[in-house]
Structure 1
């Protein structure tokens, strides 16, 4: 006579170890799956929150830098008005020479900034590319961008090197259309140009006053 057990299979037709495994699968997986899904969802939520915090921090940094650019441009206008007021009589000849010298220095800085922009664009292009090795980006950063910015004589006046470090650490924007990668780097380019203009007019005013 066949006696059916509680598993609805013939006795001794299935090893005990397999019975235990099957029971665990039937009863534990429905319990564990919701728990594992909740765990994965919590990890995803933490990652999203972390990224949002990073984006908010980047936006605050950009806003601060943009405000500084505006203030610098206002100061440039003020110094230009002072420079114009100093133009009189015997100072006119001195002023022309000073302006020529300082404008030439400014053009040299502007050329350096154009080179910096090219390097930053290349770096951001590599960072946003799925097909370019990370090694190439790090090589560009360590062997070109950092040494170039640190070696400029006006580095401290423009804040060139600290700005480059900020960009390398925090500029993660990749344009989905691929036309203009980077966000923070473009704000810094405006900032450096404004500081370079301010530097020029400060030096012009000081040299004329000391003449």
Structure 2
């Protein structure tokens, strides 16, 4: 199985400092839906792994989250592709759950759902948490400069930031302007 894991906010849709709280606020980044469809048509199963602490913080309700995910799923389907699944952590950062990235729980759930290993598959995100989760599970970490990506890129170049495990070697992270550019690279190097 060819699997690709995507973070949601800042990778597929525009992120907001005050949380994406509704389907109306869930606005796709230009080219992101098309990138998912192109990957899907090339034989990849594309899944989303996203922290959604806004749920635990009372910023939005479960119905709102489901509406956001339905909107993304519908856009992908209308464009001719499909999502393999959407996995999310609903917990507060202080809950110390196993699923909130950088912990690998969401990736464990993806492995269980598809009865496969995520090792060596691409994990595309915009935050250090995404990259740390990817490295823990042996994924290929990809950083996009949308969302928090530019700030994350700066963090990768600061050695003192590398103290908490897993250590992220900036050289092992591939960096692209956006999901569309990351998809171009993956499609060019895998076919």
Give yes or no for TM over 0.5: no
TM-score, normalization by structure 1: 0.24
- Specify which structure has the higher proportion of helix: 1
TM-score, normalization by structure 2: 0.26
- Specify which structure has the higher proportion of strand: 2
* Higher RCO (C-alpha under 8 Å, 6+ residues apart): 1
